[in-house]
């Protein structure tokens, strides 16, 4: 089997919609039938950059190659893109989009979900609800209570952003804990917006509220800051990695003892191939993995890799992801509510199971004219 073509399509949220970002679809065709689909999410305009990288650098590197040799093709793509990259950034997003398509082909060629290529050690995956809504404390508490009533036993809220004071951050944590009771796992994400002293002070203030994890307490590449916060975090786990690219950056977090739980995102690491390296390294160092976002891919990892602890569950009204999830009607995310919480079921279709909703696509497609991503 050989790769004969690599093409791209770009979609974006409609003007005035809740989501204005873009989705770039990558289609990889072979000479023996199975075709693969991958994707990259980004901000407005990012599709031009990622498309140019795929069309001009990555596609020529893999055409004629065997799509089942995913690691070899990943190495080829990285070798071609690295000298031109100017930093990992969009380069890894582009490699990830193609890598997803190659794994999709591999699963389809064998007639199995991608999760079975990793061993498939479980059929249902524990989740935590992303309740990270920008609401005042009382409204956020009401929403958290509704999520618990729906069966969720773990949930995550935002502790702060630039427009939220530290006092309000504590008020949000306090209100949510009082609303959900003592037995629900509570996580807090602050998106790397604090300095070390603030993180330590806030953890101290939150001790009465039993915060299970604090996500990205300081900027992502402040590893000494992560270490200092973790040394003073008490029983709260320090979590990070969603903005780190590739094995080298995640290895630093692990080797320097910066995090208790690692959060790689396959779209940022460079795809499934490099995610597997990161997972293996974390497993060897007894660091659990909880991938961030990207349910349609990470669900396969969570079903197939035994060191994946949780997967993030996005509520249906999450505005940031609504367009993305509406664009993909497959894989269907099936869930099961039990006394232990809400679980997502492992995918059953071959490959990644990605399927576009053509009606949504027709409304949002940006057509390409030429290799540089100009719009018609």
Query: Residues 17-26: pLDDT tens digits?
Result: 555 678 899 9
How far apart CA 54 and CA 271 sit, in angstroms, is 14
Residue 250: phi, psi to the nearest 5?
Answer: -70, -35
Burial of 112 (0-12, 13-18, 19+ CB in 10 A): middle
Distances (CA, A) of 202 to 89, 217, 228: 31, 10, 14
How far apart CA 206 and CA 308 sit, in angstroms, is 27
How far apart CA 149 and CA 259 sit, in angstroms, is 31
What pLDDT, on the 0 to 100 scale, is given for residue 33? 84
Instruction: Provide the pairing of β-strand 328-330 with 237-240.
Output: unpaired
- For the ranges 61-70, 166-175, 180-189, which has the lowest average pLDDT? 166-175
Higher-pLDDT residue of 313, 376: 313
Average pLDDT, the chain: 88
HSE (CB half, 13 Å, CA atoms) of 146? 9
Q: Single out the residue of 131, 155, 117 nearest to residue 346, CA to CA.
A: 117
* Cβ–Cβ < 8 Å for 12, 24: no
How far apart CA 187 and CA 164 sit, in angstroms, is 17
For residue 333, name the pLDDT band (cuts at 50, 70, 90).
confident
Distances (CA, A) of 3 to 10, 58, 60, 101, 109: 21, 12, 10, 11, 13
Domain spans of the chain?
A: 3-112+358-375, 116-345
What pLDDT, on the 0 to 100 scale, is given for residue 376? 39
Mean pLDDT calculated for residue range 45-62: 91
Enumerate residues 6+ apart whose C-beta is below 8 A from 263: 215, 239, 240, 241, 242, 289, 290, 291, 292
How big is the chain by its Cα radius of gyration, in Å? 21
CATH fourth-level superfamily of 3-112+358-375: Enolase-like, N-terminal domain (3.30.390.10)
Mean pLDDT calculated for residue range 358-366: 77
Distances (CA, A) of 338 to 110, 151, 196, 318, 334: 33, 7, 39, 23, 13
What pLDDT, on the 0 to 100 scale, is given for residue 19? 53
Please determine, looking at this structure, whether the domain spanning 116-345 carries the CATH number 1.10.10.10. Answer: no
Structure tokens at 285: 């160092």
Mean pLDDT calculated for residue range 221-232: 96
Is a pLDDT exceeding 70 seen at residue 321? no
Mean pLDDT calculated for residue range 22-42: 92
Reported as a single tens digit per residue, the pLDDT across 338-361 is 999 999 999 989 999 998 888 888
How far apart CA 40 and CA 208 sit, in angstroms, is 41
How far apart CA 136 and CA 165 sit, in angstroms, is 11
How far apart CA 5 and CA 198 sit, in angstroms, is 51
What pLDDT, on the 0 to 100 scale, is given for residue 367? 58
Is a pLDDT exceeding 70 seen at residue 85? no
* Cβ–Cβ < 8 Å for 171, 196: no
Distance from the Cα of residue 177 to its chain's centroid: 26
For residue 337, name the pLDDT band (cuts at 50, 70, 90).
very high
What pLDDT, on the 0 to 100 scale, is given for residue 374? 38
Q: What is the 3-state secondary structure (H, E, C) of 74-108?
A: HHHHHHHHHHHCCCCHHHHHHHHHHHHHHHHHHHH
What pLDDT, on the 0 to 100 scale, is given for residue 356? 87
Is a pLDDT exceeding 50 seen at residue 371? no
For residue 373, name the pLDDT band (cuts at 50, 70, 90).
very low
pTM, whole model, 2 decimals? Answer: 0.92
Place of tokens 């064998």: 110
Residue 34: phi, psi to the nearest 5?
Answer: -60, 130
Is a pLDDT exceeding 70 seen at residue 179? yes
325: left (phi over 0), alpha (psi -120 to 50) or beta: alpha
The percentage of residues in the chain with a pLDDT greater than 70, rounded to a whole number, is 90
What pLDDT, on the 0 to 100 scale, is given for residue 157? 92
What pLDDT, on the 0 to 100 scale, is given for residue 83? 63
Peptide bond into 171 cis (omega under 30): no
The Cα diameter of the chain in Å comes to 61
Place of tokens 């790689």: 264
How far apart CA 81 and CA 99 sit, in angstroms, is 14
């Amino acid at each position: 089997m050989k790769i004969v073509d690599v093409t791209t399509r770009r979609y974006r949220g409609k003007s005035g919609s809740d989501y204005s970002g873009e989705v770039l679809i990558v289609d990889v065709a072979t000479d023996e039938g199975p075709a693969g689909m991958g994707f990259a999410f980004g901000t407005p305009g990012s599709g031009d950059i990622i498309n140019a990288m795929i069309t001009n650098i990555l596609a020529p590197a893999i055409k004629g190659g065997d799509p089942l040799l995913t690691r070899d093709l990943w190495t080829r793509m990285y070798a071609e893109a690295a000298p031109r990259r100017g930093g990992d950034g969009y380069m890894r997003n582009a490699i990830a989009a193609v890598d997803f398509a190659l794994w999709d082909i591999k699963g389809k060629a064998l007639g199995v979900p991608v999760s079975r290529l990793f061993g498939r050690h479980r059929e249902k995956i524990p989740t935590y609800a992303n309740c990270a809504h920008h609401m005042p404390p009382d409204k956020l508490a009401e929403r958290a209570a509704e999520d618990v009533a729906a069966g969720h036993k773990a949930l995550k809220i935002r502790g702060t952003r630039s427009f939220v004071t530290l006092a309000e951050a504590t008020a949000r944590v306090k209100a949510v804990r009082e609303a959900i009771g003592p037995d629900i796992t509570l996580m807090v994400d602050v998106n790397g917006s604090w300095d070390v002293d603030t993180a330590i002070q806030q953890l101290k203030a939150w001790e009465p509220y039993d915060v299970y994890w604090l996500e990205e307490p300081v900027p992502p590449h402040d590893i000494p800051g992560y270490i200092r916060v973790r040394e003073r975090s008490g029983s709260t786990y320090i979590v990070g990695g969603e903005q780190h690219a590739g094995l080298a950056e995640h290895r630093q977090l692990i080797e320097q003892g910066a995090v208790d739980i690692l959060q790689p995102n396959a779209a940022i690491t460079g795809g499934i191939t490099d995610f597997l390296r990161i997972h293996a390294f974390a497993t060897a160092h007894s660091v659990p993995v909880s991938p961030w976002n990207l349910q349609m891919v990470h669900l396969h990892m969570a079903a197939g890799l035994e060191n994946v602890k949780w997967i993030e569950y996005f509520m249906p009204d999450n505005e940031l992801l609504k367009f993305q999830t509406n664009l993909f009607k497959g894989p269907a995310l099936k869930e099961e509510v039990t006394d232990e919480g809400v679980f997502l079921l492992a995918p059953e279709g071959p490959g990644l199971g990605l399927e576009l909703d053509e009606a949504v696509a027709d409304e949002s497609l940006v057509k390409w004219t030429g290799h540089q991503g100009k719009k018609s």
